[in-house]
Structure 1
């Protein structure tokens, strides 16, 4: 299983930089932890986007709070003290790193967790649920074995060995919904839910129902979060024409972008850029 550190080196699942999108202060994050990602085995590809592994050693140093603008994905995370399922975090996700440790996450495709869960994914939104509620006690035994490994690729392989016997029957709507989410994140011209529904060939009500059932976040949230990801990434790149960026991202003006960014990140994009 081939992986890549978050240095831009590509592998079978795409750019590591793109997969780290949403991590705030990525340069600081890289000074406190090491992120490695792995593509899923073909049998898991309909459900899983990629696996991510984070390791850190902050012994003798203060704890570090890593902040992330989450994506519309559910994660199965093997970590201390127990493995857990993380629903879509519609706010700002904060993870405190301290001491020495590691975590391995399975990032499901948008909609990809629905066949495992068997219920509306919206029920998991903004929640962290012990994984044994869904997978039974065996998942915690896998968690103990996985965290005893020193090899990141080995942890990803063990997670896959756990998931492969549990694969559900494919749901054709999973791929359809994933394509809708990808369209929302890729097409800058789409700034309203009505536009996205029209592009996807469904009614607004159908789009909202599918996102509640399969994604766990509304189409409006997905469109807005994609714009905030772009704004944060631009802020990290250096000098930014914020008025031009606001227009490029479909905001009415710079103040609208600033309000949106501040509401989630906690400070305006101009200040965020100054402290990057």
Structure 2
């Protein structure tokens, strides 16, 4: 049976065997697992298929879901303009989105090279174009694996995805760069330390003499998605090509080497922007 599954009562129905198929988000799956762990309800789950989308699905979350409800989490890939385009009922490795659905053709990448994921959807893309097109340029770097599945390797442009929501990072970075003392800025999507299936948006700024209040105000005033963490470094770690080393910057934020400043006040944030549990380790100063 296919039904809409929602928390907090959904976990009871799952354990009782009321659902055979569920489609849910990764955060909802995490909440279902947490609720089921605290219960003493006898388990007799009947799930045959569980598909999660709108955010990253960690290996740990899939394993925990399978332990509670007898079925691992499959992955789903798509967006509001295209609908779902990839999916697999099996628990795939992190970053692998499986094979495309019927009538969806992969135009790029081919072979083993890394290239933008470009699809022919077989139907018109829901986008503001003069002439409806079926070709969708995803903006995601990808590689086709020997078994025909696709592994995602990050974005090609300034757009970021935070828990399934697309964020335009250019405006955020531009707002930070005009603040006195800021010489460079980078927006990062990081995993919440206590919830690996949840992301948060971080803004890291390079420079000396940055006034925390001015930086926070500039970020808030420009509108758009708000970061859950803002941090500063006097000097960015950089690659051999001179570009900011994003992996090293992420490590600096998580470890506390980057100095955290006060984020914009709650009234400037998007609804539900704050993550359950503290998204930034307490060690960040």
Q: Normalized against structure 1, the TM-score is what?
A: 0.22
Higher helix fraction (1 or 2): 1
Q: Normalized against structure 2, the TM-score is what?
A: 0.22
